[in-house]
Amino acid sequence: MLSLNNPIDHEGKTYDKAVIMLAISPVNKGGNYSAAVSMTIKPFRKDASGNIEELEEHDKYVIIADIDQTMLTDSSLQSSVAGILQSLQSYLNAKGI
């Protein structure tokens, strides 16, 4: 779970957390690989009993058809992708894959 930088206040309740659904699909570009990315950011909160309350009408969607092309002008995307790839490589290394 992640914390929202801009919590959502809705009907007197604050939704300050989010979960992310992330799909990364490789795209063969004739000798090079890029990727298409789809991400849904789902805000939620926990009530006093610890139950999760989602705020689906405030879901955010990010779709990137060509991540390499988009990274040319988006430094925050560059650093995010680098972190994801580093984490995945660490997992592969730890599992001997």
Domain borders along the chain are 2-95
Look up residue 22 and give its amino acid: L
The pLDDT score that the predictor gives to residue 1 is 84
pTM: 0.82
Q: What is the pLDDT of residues 37-59, one digit of tens each?
A: 999 999 999 999 999 999 999 99
Report, as an integer, the average pLDDT of 62-72: 96
Report, as an integer, the average pLDDT of 5-16: 96
Mean pLDDT computed over every residue of the chain: 95
d(CA 77, CA 97): 27
Q: Which of 42, 6, 43 is nearest to 22 (CA)?
A: 42
